[in-house]
Chains A and B, each alone.
Chain A
């Protein structure tokens, strides 16, 4: 369906996640390593001078989650984007015309969800709260199950987005955030309790 659809769908699916990547990961080389290689923590510890992990566990959770999210987004979206480059659009067998658009939005929500699930799961592992881990798995299954509503796209996208916002809020709270910090950051002021590296 031409270049316009190709770029449109890629930006919808990956834009926000790449934005997150750009603002929070790319500047710190260690975070880039974790984004790409996930389980590099032992290697990093071995390389560090004082034997401690140079990156906090929350940062690792966030970056690892983002990495997994981007990977899953790539796997689900690349093959669609390759077909989006061609001259045709979905619909000759009666499927909905909005297939590419809704797939892009679904991919975006999955990338965000993976990021937040990463934070929740790591927190659950660190603090031995098994119910957080179960919640992550459970919500993963719910979101996958919601896709059975397709092509009734409202039935799959809206609940997924609501679940994403809920998971985002939970992950934010677990990372030590509070509403005051949120309001201050929205107003452009720096937060007083930002997590320090190494804690």
Chain B
């Protein structure tokens, strides 16, 4: 986790909130550093994490996690982390008929209706265990990323349903959190992605949006992060609080600064 981002979000692993849906989105840049942040944050916060990693392999997250101070191998072995490695499982699902429904079953089907097997997997993974000694703080579902599900043939409505079911189970029933990454292509032609993004934006408590700079590539400022706090369940007359920072990604951390205040410029 990045301590500077914790300060901006006003949280620490000890005081992690519960029952929240956090939406990460990136436009014109790579927002995966946010995924690494939340993964290490919740592992350090002693939460039970179910990570649906559809876009990269386990060792990728593990190596970056080690730079940020968590070991995914250890977490997986002692049951804190349940890792669904999409790329590797897709090969198994695609080439061999499975006896039981696999979470990525939709890869084999021509017109998969919904993501129910994936939801069942998440529900099973985050089931509260009855033995008292390994009591994790709260369950967390982390998805990297949801746009891949659209590319693989699922409709935006199916993905929204999946998140809805997960929210009901994880956030409401078990008082856990969900963090999901969605790419924003910024292109109006990508209708399905826009539906998904808008739908999720209205349900989220916290939106972190990483954008590339409008002026193009810069070596010292890699992008801009917009943080938006929302209260979806209680419509208030107050405006939602929002902050904008620029950031630079380094080898083991990310530094944030106010717009135009990059250390390279000052």
Q: Do A and B come from one complex?
A: no
Q: A interface vs B, CB < 8 Å?
A: none
